[in-house]
A = this chain, B = another copy of it.
Amino acid sequence: MSAIYQRVAFVGLGLIASSMAHAIRRAGLAGEITGTARSAETRQVALEIGLVDAVFDTAAEAVVGADLVVLCVPVGAMAGIAQEIAPYLEPGVTVTDVGSVKQAVIAAVGPHLPEHVHFIPGHPLAGTEHSGPRAGFAELFDNRWCILTPLDGGDAPALERLVSFWQGIGAHVDLMDPPHHDLVLAVTSHTPHLIAYTMVGVADDLRRVTDSEVIKYSAAGFRDFTRIAASDPTMWRDVFLTNKEATLEVLGRFTEELFALQRAIRTGDGVLLHDYFSRTRAIRRGIIEAGQDTAAPDFGRAKR
């Protein structure tokens, strides 16, 4: 594949940026990759392991000459970065991001960018529990979804180019309007994460069960929660603070349903429980059929 952008600049060099960099090199999608990160150590590692061709101390320097800028910082840091880089952006550059929330990013970034910039917010749905420039790998986005939420009146060729870029990285691309994105993610990601964090916190608090017991017997179901709950705390704090409305709506529904099941346990309503538990199997089958997971019988196995 020939290069889609001449110079890609990453602001932030964590798991997502480093995985993108590996995937860009794998497919030859960029002439050159530059980057910056807040921490000097991260910048040095990124250069050492060859993630970037050049590293800069500031975001302003990193974006000079770039025709694609990818904002890979926590949602709460986006506004400051947008303000800093705005005067240094080339005419016709595409600016995108990888934030887990889209309305808040648009509100934070949009007002700072000059008119000659194509701002196309994005969100690749992929991740691991690991962070930092060494955590990246080229396959992270293979066959995963990347959702772009283009703004009204945006440039069609610029969008087409970014779509090809993400496809070259290995992802499937979907377009969505920003409020719907935030609701869909509140259901499929944000609320599940909050619940997982809560359950792990409860296990840690319950004095009569020791930490070592929780750890030893985690394979019985709890372990999948700890994997989710090990994600980056700063990123997740920002997600909940900036996708407040949708998360609180889904949480409200969740507690209503949980109370109904809790009541069924208390009153011994086995029919309600059995019906509820049967219904959820259909969704699981749908996920396997959609190729988003395998049916291999290795749940709970170390070989994963």
- CB-nearest residue of chain B to A224: B224
Most central of A184, A193, A278 by chain B CB within 10 Å: A184
Q: Which A residues from 266 to 298 make CB contacts under 8 A with B?
A: 266, 268, 270, 273-274, 276-281, 283-287, 290-298
Known: A125-B217, A296-B304. A197 touches B254 (CB 8 A): no
Contacts of A220 in B (CB 8 A): 125, 127, 185, 188-189
In the complex, the answer to whether B216 meets A221 with C-beta atoms within 8 Å is no
Encode A222-246 as 1/0 by CB contact (under 8 A) with B.
1111111111011011101100100
Assess whether A211 is interfacial by the CB under 8 Å rule: yes
The reply to whether B222 and A284 form a contact with Cβ atoms under 8 Å apart is no
Chain B nearest Cβ from A247, distance in angstroms: 6
CB pair B280 A226 closer than 8 Å: yes
Whole-angstrom distance between the Cβ of A130 and the nearest chain B Cβ: 5
For the complex, what is the distance from the CA of A304 to the CA of B229, rounded to whole Å? Answer: 19
The segment out of A5-13, A104-112, A255-263 that lies at the interface is: A255-263
